[in-house]
Amino acid sequence: MKQQIDLNADLGEGASGENELLGLVSSASIACGFHAGDPATMSATILAAQAGGVAVGAHPSLDDRKNFGRTELPVSPKEVFALVAYQVGAFHAIAHSLGVEPQHVKPHGALYNMAARDRALADAVAHAVLAVSAQLILFAPGDSALAQAGEAIKLQVAREVFADRNYQPDGSLVARTESNALLHDAEEAAARVLRMLRDGVVCAVDGSDTALQADTVCIHGDTPDAIVFAQKLRAGLASAGIAVLSPSRS
């Protein structure tokens, strides 16, 4: 059983209850303006996180505010590099202007899923992060192309799992277009995360156990009852003696 884990939430996206969720997580991935947010909300969310002792990171997306960055689009590695470098660079600059040191980068939505399976896109993301700062931690799923790309250029990688999403047998997330993409029972979600941390497996939608690694656990800020999910998860972690801490740089 792990002795500590990071809880992260995607914030700065305009969802209700974000300030309350900030009080329950240890890391915040903040929208950089391409799927949600703008410079003002980035600044406000960074400052709110700083006040709560929550680490901050950039949450870059495809340029697709219309679909909240959750629709896969035809993009080249060169385009992805520019998109990520632009957003992470802007976030870095705003954070530094406020006296805050960014901790991590977590691609959003479709970009995250595309980079998880496409090594060329994953390399573009990783190199864009490195171009801004070699000290940034890259959040990526398990043994994905994105995690491999980050490690190949010596970025620190934090393996991410999801408290509120269902998994396929291959370890990928069930697509949001499917009716069973989301978990709706906070108690079940908390128990699932504890099993991930204890046994290194998750029960996939076909009933099989799928191996995974967990350094950080995501709770989506726009998931219904996100606050309840976070509260139940924090209570379960506390009962198991697991501390909630942001990842430390190695």
Per-residue pLDDT reduced to its tens digit, 32-42: 999 999 999 99
27 in a structural domain: yes
Contact present, 30 and 45 (Cβ < 8 Å): yes
pLDDT of amino acid 184? 84
120 in a structural domain: yes
Tally of domains within the chain:
1
Our separate counts of H helices and E strands in the chain read 8, 10
pLDDT of amino acid 171? 86
Percent of the chain scoring above 90 in pLDDT? 80
* Structure confidence by residue, pLDDT tens digits, 119-132: 999 999 999 999 99
pLDDT of amino acid 209? 93
Beta carbons within 10 angstroms of residue 50's beta carbon: 17
- Domain CATH number, residue 111: 3.20.20.370
* Structure confidence by residue, pLDDT tens digits, 73-99: 999 999 999 999 999 999 999 999 999
pLDDT of amino acid 172? 86
77 in a structural domain: yes
| 191, two tokens | 């128990």
234 in a structural domain: yes
pLDDT of amino acid 1? 66
226 in a structural domain: yes
**Strand blocks (E) in 60-208:** 104-105, 137-141, 156-162, 201-203
250 in a structural domain: no
* Structure confidence by residue, pLDDT tens digits, 189-240: 899 999 999 999 998 999 999 999 999 999 888 777 889 989 999 999 999 9
Structural domain span for residue 156: 4-244
249 in a structural domain: no
Averaged over 167-184, what is the pLDDT?
88
Question: What does the alpha-carbon distance between residue 49 and residue 28 come to, in Å, rounded to a whole number?
Answer: 7
33 in a structural domain: yes
pTM score, whole prediction: 0.94
